[in-house]
Structure 1
Amino acid sequence: MDADVLALIRRSVPRLSAAEGRVAETILGDPTLVVDLAINDLAKLCRTSLSTVARFAQSLGFSGYRELRVAVARAVTLAQAQQARFSLDNTAIDQDDEPSVVAAKIAAQEIDAIEKTALGLDGPTLDRVARAVVAARHIDILGQAASSLTAQDLQQKLVRIGCSASHSPDPHLALTTASLRTKDDVVIAVSHGGETAETVCAFEVARDAGALAVAITSVNDSTLALAADVVLLTHASESPFRMAAMSSRIAQLALVDILFVRVVQHRGEPVAIPLQLTRDAALGRPVPGR
């Protein structure tokens, strides 16, 4: 949770009361305030009560304000370190930024997404998915638009080590193949916001058919996540200049790489041979014995 507490607060705003909303907006407006303010000082600043601040912290999953304060402090420290690394005052892209500044800000945002995703991963959950993939008869990988690129990347990786895995960007084909899954199969759905209707629909069909349903998303209470048996969370905040998925895609690809390595480790057998065979085939070299 510490890895992306500010994003968690941002997502919570629509469901908060007016008083709790003031607490959230104050923290998001200047997270450094929380580092220095005691609970009674923050309550006065937000024109609310101590109990409201405590209730706000607990609604996010923290035991109380002290734990929330520590998490925000860590997030602030990480953000400041990231900005200092690239000599930036902030990482928000402005209309008038020069090319070198745009490059530095994009790099900072994407490094931040990878770090937060890696730090936020739950090891036992990751290994549950890796073991299921190793044991699966077949793995369906779902994703639309930018998330389709991540789905294709995972499918390509798994196929190259001999796993039976498929991905179709056609939502109707994805839906029909999902209906054929059984308890021996795994379905993995990729969606940054977790609300892509075509992905959610095929995901639920495969889950209802018996497949272990794994969601890769950044929103833990999204429709996709709530429909899943297992959730692997990414952490990425897109720029206001988001013309395409950027940080979210990088976070997804990092998570897929981590999952793939764990799959290889859990297989307990060499993958050099299938990797070499697929490489030779792609290069047009003769396949031994054929």
Structure 2
Amino acid sequence: MVDHGADATTAAVVDADGADRRGPLGVASDGVLARVRAGTEELTGALRRVAEHVLSDPEGAARATIVELAERSGTSPATVTRFCRAMGFEGYADLRLGIAAETGRARSAGWTVDIGREIQPTDPLARVLEQMMAADTRAMHDTAALLDLAEVERAAVAIAGASRVTIFGASGSALVGQEMQFSLHRIGVAAWAWNDVHEGLASAALLRPGDVALGISHTGQTRETIETLAEAGSRGATTVALTGFPRSPLAELADVVLLTASQATTYRPDALSARHPQLVVLDLLYVAVAQRTHDRAHAAFRRTAQAVDGHKAARAALP
């Protein structure tokens, strides 16, 4: 497992099954629900029931006493306390304040509109659009709260200095990877995007120290992406993971982890709803690389624009 930074502190908690559960510390109220959502898959038993209840009714959780939340989730006050520590809070009061602040901002900004409501086959498009905008806005906000800008900086520095960048993703993640490859290519970064595991592994095997491999998987459990990133790491390349789960197998083996959040809706499960936040994070990474290679990027933009200029449709002369 890769240590993702000396500043990343964890708190150990023991669930009812005796397993050691760890959660990232960071008591800022921003992104509380995103952290809970990202960490739910790693919890079992009583702790998971608390997490699921908080996510199903965050405003109710913010108003409830610790005894009330324990009763509603079918657990005990001691379990709620362990859950709070797993989420990086010293106690229930801090968790309540964080959730209350976050839901209050979301309500003021209109992000809570229809979130959690199922889209019905007969819903008018105006209602569907409202639901999608609310969900995507919430996901973007959560992603901004989760994202470690120091990790973005590390990835940008590595890519800016790399002689070769390999990007790998399967299915929908492959489309996101192709967007990143196109952006990097336009500023003169030698980047390749692969969605075939054989081609991805072959490309990763040719990497050397100083090169970069970027693996994209919302779940962080896609075997082909894990294998490709592991191969790149074994060759000495810097490995970067873009995922929604900080304790996933992909994140565990990467040198740099970039986290995204998602807000699923009917017809748009997590894997699909994660695409826009993934694109935002990669666009931020691309801009950070362009900043660090300003002269080269500017010259590349100028040359590529001149190369394709002759293929633009001529404007009709004004009368």
TM-score normalised by length of structure 2: 0.80
Aligned to 2:177: 151
**Within the alignment, does 1:76 sit opposite 2:103 as a pair?**
yes
Whether the 8 Å CA contact 2:164–2:189 is kept in 1: the answer is yes
Cα RMSD for the two superposed structures: 2.5
Deviates further, 274-283 or 187-196: 274-283
**Within the alignment, does 1:61 sit opposite 2:88 as a pair?**
yes
- Change in CA separation of 1:143 and 1:241 when aligned onto 2, cut-off 3 Å: same
3-state SS of paired residue (2:257): strand
Counterparts of 1:181-200 in structure 2 under 5 Å?
181-200=207-226
Counterparts of 1:165-204 in structure 2 under 5 Å?
165-204=191-230
- Change in CA separation of 1:74 and 1:247 when aligned onto 2, cut-off 3 Å: farther
What's the CA shift for 1:213? 0.6
Alignment-mate amino acid for residue 150 of structure 1: V
Measured against aligned partners, the alpha-carbon deviations of 1:113-139 in whole angstroms (never above 9, x if no partner) come to 222222332221111111111111111
Aligned to 1:232: 258
Q: Which of the numbers 142, 145, 167 marks the counterpart of 1:119? A: 145
Whether the 8 Å CA contact 1:140–1:167 is kept in 2: the answer is yes
Alignment-mate amino acid for residue 225 of structure 1: A
Q: Which of the numbers 294, 304, 309 marks the counterpart of 1:278? A: 304
Report sequence identity in percent: 34
Deviates further, 227-236 or 67-76: 67-76
Alignment-mate amino acid for residue 205 of structure 2: S
Distance 1:254 1:167 in 2: 18
Aligned to 1:97: 123
Measured against aligned partners, the alpha-carbon deviations of 1:104-163 in whole angstroms (never above 9, x if no partner) come to 211222222222222332221111111111111111111111111111111111111111
- Change in CA separation of 1:273 and 1:12 when aligned onto 2, cut-off 3 Å: closer
- Change in CA separation of 1:90 and 1:184 when aligned onto 2, cut-off 3 Å: closer
Structure 1, unpaired ranges of 5+: 286-290
**Within the alignment, does 1:134 sit opposite 2:160 as a pair?**
yes
Deviates further, 245-254 or 87-96: 87-96
3-state SS of paired residue (2:136): helix
Name the one with the larger helix percent: 1
Alignment-mate amino acid for residue 150 of structure 2: P
Distance 1:20 1:12 in 2: 10
Aligned to 1:288: none
3-state SS of paired residue (2:287): helix
What's the CA shift for 1:218? 0.8
TM-score normalised by length of structure 1: 0.87
- Change in CA separation of 1:127 and 1:243 when aligned onto 2, cut-off 3 Å: closer
3-state SS of paired residue (1:237): coil
Alignment-mate amino acid for residue 9 of structure 1: V
Alignment-mate amino acid for residue 87 of structure 2: L
What's the CA shift for 1:21? 3.4
- Change in CA separation of 1:219 and 1:257 when aligned onto 2, cut-off 3 Å: same
What's the CA shift for 1:248? 0.7
Whether the 8 Å CA contact 2:214–2:242 is kept in 1: the answer is yes
**Within the alignment, does 1:6 sit opposite 2:33 as a pair?**
yes
What's the CA shift for 1:73? 2.0
Whether the 8 Å CA contact 1:62–1:68 is kept in 2: the answer is yes
Whether the 8 Å CA contact 2:116–2:265 is kept in 1: the answer is no
Whether the 8 Å CA contact 1:3–1:117 is kept in 2: the answer is no
Deviates further, 101-110 or 196-205: 101-110
Distance 1:277 1:81 in 2: 46
**Within the alignment, does 1:110 sit opposite 2:136 as a pair?**
yes
**Within the alignment, does 1:24 sit opposite 2:56 as a pair?**
no
What's the CA shift for 1:276? 2.1
Aligned to 1:218: 244
